[in-house]
A and B are shown apart, each in its own frame.
Chain A
Amino acid sequence: MSDASANSSDASADAGDASTGSRFGYARGLLGDHAVHIAVVAAFALYPFVYAILVRTPLGAELDVFLPRIDTMVAVLYIGLFAVSFDFISGYTGYLSFGHALFYGVGAYFVVLAATGKVPLLGPGTPFMALLLVAGLLVVGIALLVGAVSFRLSGVYFAMITLGFAEVAHVFIRNWDYVSSNPRDGASIGAGEGFSIGVPGVDALQVEIGRIVGTNLGEFGPGIAVDATWVSYYAIGAIVLVSYFALQRIVHSPFGRVMIAIRENEERARAVGYDVYRFKLVAFAISGFFAAIAGALFAGYRRSVAPENTFDLFVTADALLAAIIGGFGTLAGPLYGYLFKGSVEGVLSTEYHGIARYLRRALPESTLTFDVAGISIADVINVLVDGRADLYLGIVFILFVLYVPRGILGTLRDRLGGTVAERLPERMRTRLRGWQR
C-alpha cells in the first residue's frame, strides 16, 4: 500500500518537474551526466594558461621542470588519440593489434607526401581537413585488407601477423626513395604555410597548426603569448575531442557491446548469432581510421616524419604502455597513460627544462662534487637521471602489470563500480549529503 503511494507520489513529482522547468531540468540532467567530461575538457583547455601563469611565479623554474610544456601536451593529444584507437581494438575486442603503427604511419606519410606534391590527384594546396579524411579512408581500406587475412587467427598469432604487416611497411618506407632522397631519415615538408584546421574555405574559421609556422595570436596578457604552439594545441585538441567522443559513442552502442562480447567469449557470441568476423573487421577499420587521423595530426604539426617515429614497433609499444598505465578497455585511460609518459619524459629530458639540467644549474658546486666511494652527485645525475625516462617507465610498466593490471582509470572504475562519468557525481553527492547530516 505504502509502496504504491510512494510510487505514485514519485511519479507525480516527476511529472511535476517535467511540466514546470522541463528545459532547465533537461539541461541540468545533461550537465550532470557529463560533468566529469566537461571538467576534463576544461582542465585541458585551461592548462596552457595555468602553465603560463605558474612558470612566472617565484617557484616558476621548479614548476617548469615538472609541468609538461605545451609542445609536449600537443604530442600527448595526437599520440593519445593513437593510443585510444589502439585501446578501441585491443582493449574492447581483446585482439592485440601489434601492427597498429602501420595505420599511424600511413596517415603521417600521406600528409607529408601530399604536401610535397607526391600524391597523385591531391596537390599541395589540398585543405588539411580533406587530407585527414582521405588518409583515414585509405587506412580503412588497408585495415579491411589486413583484417580480412588476420582475423582468421587469434591471440599471439593475430598479434604476430599484424606485426608482420607493419614491419613489411616499416622496411618498405625506410628504403623507398620516392618518399625522399634519403628515405632512412624520412621526409619533411619544410618551410611554407602551416596546415589549416577548421572549416575549409572559410578563412575566419580556420587556424594554422605547426610548431613554428602556425597562426600566432600574439600576446594575451602580461607575458602570456598565444603563439603557434598554443593555437596548434587547441586546434588539434578539438579534433582529438571530436574523435574521442565518436569512439565513445560507438563503444557505448550495441556495436560496442558486441565487441565486448567478442572479448569475453567469442564462441558464445558466434553461437548467439553474431557474425563476429564482420564485427571484428569493422572495429579494426574504425580503430585504423582514428589511428590514421592521429598520424596525420602528428605530421601536420611536426611537418616531418621518419620511419622510426611512425612505423616502428616502438610506436605501437608507446600505445601499449599508455594503455597499461591508463587502463585497457577504458578508452580514456590510454590518453591519461600517455599524459603520464609524456610528463615523465619531460621531467627526465636532457633539454634545458629537464630535471638534470635544472639540478646542475641549481645545486651548488660543492653538492655536485660531493662523492661517496668515488661516485659524485653529478655522476649520479648524468648516469641515472639525464635522459633515462625509458628506464623508469619500464619499471613503472612492470609494476603496473604486476600490481595495477587494470591501470589507473580501470582501478578507479572498479572502485566506483562504473565509469567515472556515471559514478563520480553520485559519489560526491552522497559524500556531501553525508556531511550535511
Chain B
Amino acid sequence: MMDVLTLAFVDVLIDLLQPGTLARIVLDALSKSALYVMIASGLSLIFGLMGVLNFAHGSLTMIGAYLGGAVMVVTVSAGMNGPARFALFFVAIAATFAALTLLGGAVEVALIRPIYDREPLFQILLTFGLVLVLDELARIVVELNGLQPRSKWQAAIGTAPDFLSNWYAVVGISTRGLYLFEVLLGALVVAGIWAFLTRTRYGLYIRAGSEDPEMTRALGVDVRKAFTVVFGVGAGLAGVAGAVLMWDPRFGATVPLSVETLLVAFVVVIIGGLGSFRGTVVAAGIVGLTDALMTWLFQNHVQFAGLPEMVTFLVLVGVLIVRPQGLFGVAEVGGH
C-alpha cells in the first residue's frame, strides 16, 4: 500500500516538475490570484477598519458584474472594433465603481450606522439580511430582462474584444488574452489601493483606525465619516471585481456568483489577517496558487471534482489553527 502511494506521489512530482506544467500552473495561479485580490480587497478594507465582516460583499460583486455587463451590452455594437470595446470597458468599470460606492455609502448610513453600538454579531447579521434582499432584487431585475439568473450572461461575455478572448501561446502555454489582462488589472488595483492607503488622508485614517480606533478618534478624526467612505470604497471595489468577472468565461455574471465570490473573499481576508492589506495580497497569492495547483492535480491525476475548493477551505482551517489571527493579522476582533 505504502509503495503504491509513494510511486503515485513520485509520479505526480515528476509530472509537476516539467517546465511546461510549472509554467501553466504559475500562469493560472497569477490570473486567479489577481481575481481573488480584486474580489477580496474591498472586504479587507472594511473588515480591517470596522471589524465588520460584510456578508453582502458577494452580492455587491454580483451587482457589479450585472451593472458592468449592462453598460457593455448597451454601448457595444456588433461591428465595434477591439480598442473601442476595450476603452468602453474602462468606462464600465468607472461607472460600476461609482454606482456601487454610492450604494455602499447609502447602505452604511441607513442600515449599519444605527447598530454600531451593538455587539458585532448584529452587524454581521444585518449584512446577512442584505444578502437575501439584494440577491432577490437582482434576480427580479435579471428575470425582468429576460435572462436566466443561474446561467452566465453570454451576451456580456460576448462584448469582450477579440484580442482578449483569443488564445495565445505564452512561454509555450496557451492562455486567453483576458487572463493576462486580469493579471495586469490586479496589479493596477493593488497599486491603486496601496497608493490610496499610503498617500491620501483617508488612507491614513483607515490605517490608523484599523490599528487603534480609540486613539484615532481621540486625535480628532471623524471616524464615522471614514467608516462611510471605507464602506463605499469597499463596495465599489467589489463592483469592479464583478465587472471583471463578467467578462471571464470561467465565472460570468450569474446570481450564484454572489455566494461563490463571498466564500473566496472570506477565505482570502481571514488567511491574510485582520487589518492588513499586505496580508490580503499575500493570501490571494496563496489561495490562487493552491487553486491552480489543485486544479492541475484534479485534471491530471486525482479523480475528485471538488479538490480545489476543498483544499482551499482546508487551508483556511489550517491557517486558523496554526495562526488564529491570520498570516499578517495584528489583533483579534470580535472575541469575548
Contacts and interface: CB of A to CB of B under 8 A. Distances in A.
Interface in A131-173: 149, 152-157, 159-161, 163-165, 167-168, 171-172
A405 interface: yes
A169 B297 CA distance: 20
B331 to A, nearest CB: 11
Given A154-B336, A391-B133, A168 B125 contact: no
B132 A391 contact: yes
A69 interface: no
B163 interface: no
A283 interface: no
Given A154-B332, A174-B306, A390-B136, A402 B126 contact: yes
Contact of B132 (A152, A155, A161, A397): A397
A402 B313 CA distance: 32
Contacts, number: 121
Nearest to B114: A402
A154 B317 contact: no
A326 B115 CA distance: 19
Interface residues of B, number: 47
SS of B interface (majority): helix
B306 A172 contact: yes
Report the interface size class on chain A.
Answer: 35 or more
A227 interface: no
A157 B118 CA distance: 19
Contacts of B270: 157, 160
Contacts of A405: 118, 122
B137 interface: yes
A164 B316 contact: yes
B136 A398 contact: no
A401 B309 contact: no
Given A154-B334, A172-B306, A388-B136, A397 B129 contact: yes
A161 B314 CA distance: 10
Interface string A382-404: 01100010110111011001100
A313 interface: yes
A317 interface: yes
Interface in A250-296: 262-263, 265-267
Which of B111, B143, B304, B336 has the most chain A CB atoms inside 10 A of its CB?
B336
21 contacts: A96-B121, A153-B332, A155-B333, A156-B334, A157-B325, A161-B321, A167-B309, A172-B310, A174-B306, A265-B336, A313-B259, A391-B140, A394-B132, A395-B133, A397-B128, A398-B111, A398-B126, A398-B133, A401-B125, A402-B115, A402-B126
Interface of B: 51, 53, 111, 114-115, 118, 120-122, 124-126, 128-133, 135-137, 140, 143-144, 259, 263, 266-267, 270, 304-306, 309-310, 313-314, 316-317, 320-321, 324-325, 332-336
Given A149-B317, A154-B336, A317-B128, 11 more contacts: A153-B332, A157-B270, A161-B316, A161-B317, A165-B313, A175-B304, A313-B263, A390-B135, A390-B136, A394-B132, A397-B128
